Amino acid sequence: MLRSSQRQMKITDHIQNANGKTLFSFEVIPPQKGTSINDLYKNIDPLMEFKPPFIDVTTSREEYIFIEKENGLFEKKITRKRPGTIGICASLQHKYGVDTVPHILCGGFNKEETEYALIECQYLGIQNIMALRGDSRKDEQYFKAHSEGHPFASDLVKQIKDLNSGKFLHEEIEVAENMDFCIGVAGYPEKHLEAPSLNYDLQMLKQKVENGADYIVTQMFFDNQKFFDFVKQVRDLGIEVPIIPGIKPIATKSHLQILPQIFRIDLPEALINEVQKCKTTAEVRQVGIEWSIQQSKELLDFGVPVLHYYSMGKSDNIYKIAKEIF
């Protein structure tokens, strides 16, 4: 159903207008090159039943590929395997009449490219931005910022906030209407994998908020107590912006190894034991659904402003969870 005439709103306004009711949102990954956007629509369509006020769209880092030339030597070239996040956001806003949140990264982009992307967002009526440092490239052991880019998400937040004030990189331009982006940033209940301590990571989060971040979305976690403790620690630092929990249902047995390896998170013993009992992937997905339903109910009772789900390209499990909650 086309609802493109709906006025765009900030995430913080959606939360305020909900008057304490917990909202539903989710995150999608752009389809790989060569596939149709209709594949993405098919995964989103069922979830619109739960009236998400916004949808996040991720951004992938660039990759290097090596192309063999006629002389036998290899040429190193940069490629991106997924189409543009901003274009997909515009398409989703037009098709569904919801706000979208493109993920803007430090990694792989210089400040000029970032400014251009933000100007494009303004032209397309995209008012919300998730500002992230991004991961290291696959061929790099550690994150390396672009030589003319931002090393930290807090720096990216400052650039966006400067644009909101009419401050462009090289000049102050007279504009008919200032940009007014609502800025989201990431929070890590079990600390960022590169942070030397949780306290250090919390101080980095505080810097992002001081530089202009309007709300926080957490990395996935499977033990709600980790989230509750995180919220208390954040509030003790004087940070008052909304904190949105990110939830990822376990879907395969390999997640028991992959998720801790990539995100440096702990999985509860009870969840591990239930997954290990499963004989099929379908059984694992059901365990993941049931665990996420229980997580969601507890978080709902805690009074979170939004329950944000990481769909990772598949929506059937998110649909079953949302059906029990919303």
Domains of the chain by start residue, with CATH: 11-325 (3.20.20.220)
Q: Please report the pLDDT score of residue 151 as a whole number.
A: 73
Task: Name residues whose C-beta falls within 8 Å of residue 230's C-beta, 6 or more positions apart in sequence.
Answer: 187, 188, 189, 218, 243
Task: Name residues whose C-beta falls within 8 Å of residue 109's C-beta, 6 or more positions apart in sequence.
Answer: 117, 146, 149
Task: Name residues whose C-beta falls within 8 Å of residue 14's C-beta, 6 or more positions apart in sequence.
Answer: 23, 53, 54, 99
Mean pLDDT by 10 residues, the chain (326 residues): 60 97 95 81 96 92 50 52 77 96 86 90 94 66 64 91 88 73 97 90 97 97 98 97 97 94 93 97 96 98 97 89 97
